[in-house]
Each structure stands twice: as structure tokens, then as C-alpha cells.
Structure 1
């Protein structure tokens, strides 16, 4: 199975969760994530049925969300900034003041095994995470677990949190 096929399969499994299943699983995930949250937190506004930690944490914490700067680079900006529609159906801050000193980054996941994540395939997060000293936490549903070939550019996360476990 190609990497593209694996991505499609993981997205389909994630999308097959009912609204009530999703809400219960997201609550379990956010409860597991909470003890790790402190300081400046990088997160994301979910697309394509990604785990939604943003809605739960947006009023509680000092959040920073990614903005695409070019074809290879993202940077994080305050969630308090005005937002615009970005590429790939994302919502991004307009990007007035970049925050380079994040304490924690909650990372979206398409698929995972061990503490490696599969993203959408463009490498934005891997490039960013390779230069960051923040605690890197992937958030995913159990149904997204899959085996895949790890490339040298894939960044190992500090942990992946699902509704049933914390992988370290």
C-alpha cells in the first residue's frame, strides 16, 4: 500500500466516527492532554475531521496557531489575531508577530505508529518540529494507528495521545 493510500485509509477511518463517538473520544483525549499544558501552546484549528482540541482549549490557554509562510514553512502566531482562510481549507492568523518560543505543540495526525506521525505529506510540521525544543504531543484517535515506513525527515514526537492511551 502506498503512503497516499495509507493516508486516505487513515482519514477515512477518522471520518467514519459518528459525531457522538467523536465527542466522547475528544473529551478523553483532552483530559489526557490537560496535565501537560503550560505556557505558550502551539495547536491547530482542525480540518478534515482531525481531533478537535482547539475548541476545548481556546478560551483556557495562551494558544498559537500555524500559518503557512511559503511552500515549505509554517510559523506560529497568537490565536488572538484576526484569522483568514489559508490554503488547504485551513484557518490561519494574519501573522503579525511570530512566536518562536513555544512550550508545547499539539500536533495534528493523519496516521501514527509508535510516536511517529504521518501528516498530509508536505513536511511542514516535520521541518518546524525539527527546530523546536517544545514538548511535541500528537493527538489522534486509536483508529488512526497504522504501520508505515519512517523517512529520515520524519520527526519522532515526545508522545501521541489517543482516547485510550499515551504512547511515549
Structure 2
């Protein structure tokens, strides 16, 4: 789908909020079995992206996001430290916790699974790569998030972190609208491919 619409013979950009609604509907249109199958394929592709010796920040998925429980289990089995974000609504920020046992995750802010009551504080300086949810993406590496800016703020303060976005292939757009404070993804993983920033752009 194009990020412009015809208007009296001209084309005008679709706003981010309108685009978010379109992409939410597109993602929910996937059946649960489809999401499970695609998430499994994405997990397999992710294994090619993670580098031994990393400490990896991984989002804990809620429906209908790309499921991350399998990649978390894989990383733990490989003795790769797993760090998860905890949402702080008060200052629109993320604090970090190591995750050693996924069974401690409970539905929390915005229904996101978090290790509330079982936190092991982690330092952002120790994170080498971050696996991040997306509503939409393009091949320049642009990411459309949910609009609150939690990840953009966190990543702008921690530029050393390699950014890895996860999405279903149906979430791709030819060209996303971006702002100066939007953080792009270095790698995007879908069920079909691993896309490196700028790949396929003319």
C-alpha cells in the first residue's frame, strides 16, 4: 500500500496515525495460526542475526505482535543474557531487567508481559542489540511504532545499540513518513527475509 492518497488530482501523504490504523487492521487480519507460523519462521531467521557474546534486549510480545517467547528461550539456552523492557508511563521511558525465567512474566502496562516483582536491574550500556516491535517498516530501515515514543527515546540515548525490528512481511510499506526523532532499524526480520538497512532502495 502506498503512503499517499489521491486528492483532487494530487497526492497527499497519509498521516502516521491513519497509517497506524491501516497497519493494525492488516496485522489483525492474519489468523492466529498464520501469526504462529510466521513468528516461528521469524525466530529461525533471528538466530542468524544474533552474535555470540551479545547481551540482547528483547520485547515481550502481546497479540498480535510477532511472538518472541521462542527467541527468548533460544537465547537463554545459548547462555546469551536476555534483557527485557519495563514501561514507565510516568516519564515515558523504559527501564531494563534481566530475564532468567520467562514464567515470571505477568501482563502489565498496555498488557505487555513484564517481570514485575522479579526484576533484576540491567544497565542500558551493557545492551549490544535490541529486538524491537513494529507496526510498519520500509527498506530504508524506517520504523513505524505505536506513537508514544518509548523506544525512540531509549534508543536515542543509547546509540551504541544495534537495532533489530521484527514484523510480518505484510507490514512493509514502500516509504514511511518519518520525523527527525525517529530511530531507524539496522536490521529488519520478517518471515520471508532478513533486510539490512537500505537494502532494495534505489
* CA distance in structure 2 between the aligned counterparts of 1:64 and 1:17, rounded to whole angstroms: 29
List alignment gaps of at least 5 residues for structure 1.
none
- 2:130 is aligned to 105
Deviates more, 1:109-118 or 1:11-20: 11-20
Task: Answer whether contact 2:35 2:64 (CA < 8 A) is retained.
Answer: no
The structure 1 residue matched to 2:111, chosen from 89, 94, 97, is 89
The secondary structure found in structure 1 opposite 2:130 is strand
The secondary structure found in structure 1 opposite 2:61 is coil
Structure 1 residue 96 displacement after superposition: 4.1
* CA distance in structure 2 between the aligned counterparts of 1:130 and 1:123, rounded to whole angstroms: 10
State yes or no: 1:71 paired with 2:91: yes
List alignment gaps of at least 5 residues for structure 2.
1-13, 76-80, 197-202
* CA distance in structure 1 between the aligned counterparts of 2:33 and 2:106, rounded to whole angstroms: 29
RMSD: 1.8
* CA distance in structure 1 between the aligned counterparts of 2:43 and 2:33, rounded to whole angstroms: 15
Larger Rg: 2
* CA distance in structure 2 between the aligned counterparts of 1:55 and 1:48, rounded to whole angstroms: 12
Task: Answer whether contact 1:105 1:137 (CA < 8 A) is retained.
Answer: yes
State yes or no: 1:159 paired with 2:177: no
The structure 2 residue matched to 1:47, chosen from 62, 84, 89, is 62
* CA distance in structure 1 between the aligned counterparts of 2:71 and 2:185, rounded to whole angstroms: 21
Structure 1 residue 5 displacement after superposition: 1.6
Report the TM-score when normalising by structure 2. 0.75
Task: Answer whether contact 2:164 2:185 (CA < 8 A) is retained.
Answer: yes
Report the TM-score when normalising by structure 1. 0.89
* CA distance in structure 1 between the aligned counterparts of 2:132 and 2:167, rounded to whole angstroms: 9
- 2:73 is aligned to 59
* CA distance in structure 2 between the aligned counterparts of 1:104 and 1:5, rounded to whole angstroms: 30
Task: Answer whether contact 1:11 1:48 (CA < 8 A) is retained.
Answer: no
The secondary structure found in structure 2 opposite 1:65 is strand
* CA distance in structure 1 between the aligned counterparts of 2:69 and 2:19, rounded to whole angstroms: 28
| Residue correspondences, number | 167
State yes or no: 1:20 paired with 2:59: no
* CA distance in structure 2 between the aligned counterparts of 1:158 and 1:105, rounded to whole angstroms: 10
